[in-house]
Amino acid sequence: MEGFQCVATVEEIPPGQVKVVKVNERDIAVFNIEGRFHAIYNSCPHEGGPLHKGRVKGHVVSCPWHDLKFDVRNGQGTDGGGYCVGSYDVRIEGGEVFVGARRKV
């Protein structure tokens, strides 16, 4: 898969869990939500809070520092404040999780 980097096995990120990986020198949070994998930039744009430490409800993660919320499927802020984070394509192949390039908004 050209442009994709293997970051974990499926078993390393069980449903309801998140793992931080490095892709192109950036910390990316890979979430497993009910067996579907999603990847977003791990740093909240407000003050850099580590999103992987936030509470996940449905498809929304809350920043642990100031409670800003982001949809892990696309990185869009759900609070209406205009904040968003980069989201990344994810593919599963042969039991491995691959993260690709940042999606264009």
Q: What's the pLDDT score for residue 41?
A: 98
Q: What's the pLDDT score for residue 81?
A: 82
Here the contacts of 68-72 (C-beta below 8 Å, separation 24 or greater) are 68/44, 70/40, 70/44, 72/29, 72/31, 72/33, 72/38, 72/40
The residue assigned the tokens 């999606």 is 103
Each residue's pLDDT tens digit, 32-85 = 999 999 999 999 999 999 999 999 999 999 999 999 999 999 999 998 888 999
Which string of b and e fits 21-52 if b means at least 16 CB within 10 Å?
Answer: bebeeeebbbbbbeeebbbbbbbbbeeebebb
Where does the pLDDT of residue 105 fall: very low under 50, low under 70, confident under 90, or very high at 90 and above? Answer: low
pTM comes to 0.94
Lowest mean pLDDT among 1-5, 7-11, 96-100: 1-5
